[in-house]
């Protein structure tokens, strides 16, 4: 463990309003615990910033003392880059405020806010913007990588609704990024992850929404999976954008609306979200029922904030996680065959394969308009390898990689950086595709020393010369 001079730490303490947590502090272990239970990193110091002014102080301290620097938002990224082993972690857990201007339909969000914080504040005014499907995820990391969820078909990605960001640069300067100010930095932030600076505030555009939506789950027996998936593919080509249906292949959790004998059996679940009136939602759901013979269903009107938390019980922190992801333009019969084959061998009750629909508004935005490059993708698959015991690591990781390799021939190329594991850092160039070259040039401009490298790292110079 690195030993910083006590005097230096005391100096830092006296210059910031926030708290510094050191390894001998009783709250240290809690502060360094993040969502993925496989990550066990020990920062030399965790700076729990209290306000925006603390951030440049922490950035300058890390740079001057040549400390590895990381930024912790909601702590959900499975690669665990939010913690700096033996380095300095800027922790935003005490900066979670979300302020809403209902007249302007704007939200001003501090970087420690979770999706739940965001939804609560915006829904108080009947407003929302697309985010993700697990309410404990951090707004910061989700936004910087792209961000997609139930509202994406209708309103695009989270980054498509970003209006401006306040950033602390590698040199410790506060900069505004928007279409008007530093537009190149604003371009890079919308998908480029944490490569370009520390964001201390986000401004989002909001849409009228809810407070109730038509949503729920429909569960089919696994032997009908191929047939359901074929119809799902066909149906989702022309489904209204207010409707978003995702497919989950997994062992059935003990949900009260499922018969006892289905619990623990492999099933195909349609997760259904309709941003509209009940009778229209009911008609759409009736159509989905015809995909097979559901063994259980629970759908109806419910608060949007409730649906945003519906998957939280399946995505609790602490388990071991290894994910693999592809994007698809269409769900071909060959892909369906492969998905169903591997779903039949799912190696743990917590593991699942999900296929989310992201087709809609985001496909109409040119790939070069923001750093997020996957504008051609209409579906995203995530193989959620998830298990309890360390002794299962090789088996579960091996299985997830096998699914990934087998489904690669049908993939649309590129990768979603928010789903990339630690061992995929060498795939960053291909993840960004045609946008990579511009990102490298902007990295050279904004962070030539690569201070911000605890992320899906874009190196400042072309790979060949590093």
Ligand X SMILES: Cc1cc2nc3c(=O)[nH]c(=O)nc-3n(C[C@H](O)[C@H](O)[C@H](O)COP(=O)(O)OP(=O)(O)OC[C@H]3O[C@@H](n4cnc5c(N)ncnc54)[C@H](O)[C@@H]3O)c2cc1C
Binding site for ligand X (CB under 6 A): 35, 71-78, 81-82, 92, 111, 132-134, 137-138, 140-142, 144-149, 193-194, 198-199, 315, 418, 454-455
The residue at minimum Cβ distance from ligand X is: 141
Minimum distance from residue 128 beta carbon to ligand X (Å): 14
Toward ligand X, which CB reaches closer, 58 or 343? 58
Toward ligand X, which CB reaches closer, 139 or 229? 139
Minimum distance from residue 92 beta carbon to ligand X (Å): 6
Q: What gap in Å lies between CA 275 and CA 130, rounded to an integer?
A: 12
- Distances in whole angstroms, Cα of residue 234 to Cα of each of 120, 184, 229, 267, 331: 35, 39, 9, 20, 9
Toward ligand X, which CB reaches closer, 18 or 75? 75
Minimum distance from residue 419 beta carbon to ligand X (Å): 6
Q: What gap in Å lies between CA 204 and CA 342, rounded to an integer?
A: 39
Contact 390, 421 (CB under 8 A): no
Which residues partner with 268 through β-bridges?
220, 249
In DSSP notation, 5-62 reads: -HHHHHHHHHH-SSEEE-TTSTTHHHHT--SSTT-----SEEEE--STTHHHHHHHHH
Q: What gap in Å lies between CA 98 and CA 221, rounded to an integer?
A: 42
- The DSSP element (H or E) to which 352 belongs, if any, is strand 352-357
Toward ligand X, which CB reaches closer, 222 or 236? 236
Contact 81, 458 (CB under 8 A): no
Toward ligand X, which CB reaches closer, 77 or 96? 77
- The DSSP element (H or E) to which 106 belongs, if any, is strand 106-109
Toward ligand X, which CB reaches closer, 81 or 351? 81
Tokens of 2: 């690195």
Minimum distance from residue 219 beta carbon to ligand X (Å): 20
Toward ligand X, which CB reaches closer, 76 or 251? 76
Minimum distance from residue 221 beta carbon to ligand X (Å): 26
Minimum distance from residue 395 beta carbon to ligand X (Å): 21
Crossing angle of helices 333-343 and 393-407, in 10° steps, is: 170
Minimum distance from residue 359 beta carbon to ligand X (Å): 15
Toward ligand X, which CB reaches closer, 145 or 292? 145
Tokens of 118: 């965001």
Minimum distance from residue 289 beta carbon to ligand X (Å): 25
Nearest to 355 by CA among 322, 332, 372: 332
């Amino acid at each position: 463990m690195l030993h910083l001079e006590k005097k230096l730490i005391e100096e830092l303490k006296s210059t910031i309003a926030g708290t510094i947590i050191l390894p001998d502090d009783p709250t240290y272990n809690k502060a360094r615990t993040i969502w993925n239970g496989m990550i066990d990193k020990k920062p030399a110091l965790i700076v729990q910033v209290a306000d925006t002014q603390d951030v440049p102080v922490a950035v300058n301290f890390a740079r001057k003392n040549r400390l590895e620097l990381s930024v912790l938002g909601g702590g959900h990224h499975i690669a665990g880059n939010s913690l700096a082993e033996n380095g300095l972690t800027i922790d935003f857990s005490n900066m979670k405020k979300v302020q809403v201007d209902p007249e302007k339909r704007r939200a001003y969000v501090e970087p420690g806010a979770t999706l739940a914080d965001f939804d609560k504040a915006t829904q108080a005014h009947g407003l929302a913007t697309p985010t993700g499907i697990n309410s404990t995820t951090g707004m910061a990391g989700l936004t910087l990588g792209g961000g997609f969820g139930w509202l994406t078909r209708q309103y695009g990605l989270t980054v498509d609704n970003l209006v401006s960001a306040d950033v602390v640069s590698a040199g410790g300067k506060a900069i505004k990024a928007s279409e008007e100010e530093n537009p190149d930095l604003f371009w890079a932030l919308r998908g480029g992850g944490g490569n370009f600076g520390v964001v201390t505030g986000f401004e989002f555009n909001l849409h009228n929404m809810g407070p109730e939506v038509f949503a729920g789950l429909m569960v089919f027996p696994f032997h009908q999976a191929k047939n359901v998936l074929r119809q799902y593919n066909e149906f989702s080509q022309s489904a209204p954008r207010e409707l978003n249906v995702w497919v989950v292949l997994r062992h059935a959790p003990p949900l009260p609306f499922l018969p006892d004998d289905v619990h623990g059996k492999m099933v195909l679940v349609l997760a259904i979200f309709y941003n509209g009136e009940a009778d229209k939602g009911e008609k759409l759901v009736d159509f989905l029922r015809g995909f097979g013979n559901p063994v259980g269903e629970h759908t109806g009107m419910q608060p949007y904030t409730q649906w945003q938390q519906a998957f939280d019980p399946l995505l609790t922190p602490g388990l071991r996680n290894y994910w693999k992801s592809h994007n698809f333009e269409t769900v071909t019969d060959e892909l369906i065959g492969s998905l169903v084959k591997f779903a039949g061998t799912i190696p743990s009750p917590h593991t699942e394969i999900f296929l989310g629909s992201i087709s809609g508004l985001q496909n109409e935005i040119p790939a070069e308009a923001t750093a997020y490059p996957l504008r051609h993708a209409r579906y995203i698959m995530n193989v959620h390898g998830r298990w309890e015991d360390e002794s299962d690591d090789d088996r579960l990781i091996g299985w997830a990689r096998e699914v990934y390799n087998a489904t690669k021939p049908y993939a649309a190329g590129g990768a979603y950086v928010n789903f990339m594991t630690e061992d995929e850092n060498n795939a960053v160039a291909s993840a960004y595709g045609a946008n990579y070259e511009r990102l490298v040039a902007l990295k050279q401009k904004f962070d030539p020393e690569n201070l911000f490298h605890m992320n899906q790292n874009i190196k400042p110079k072309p790979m060949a010369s590093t």
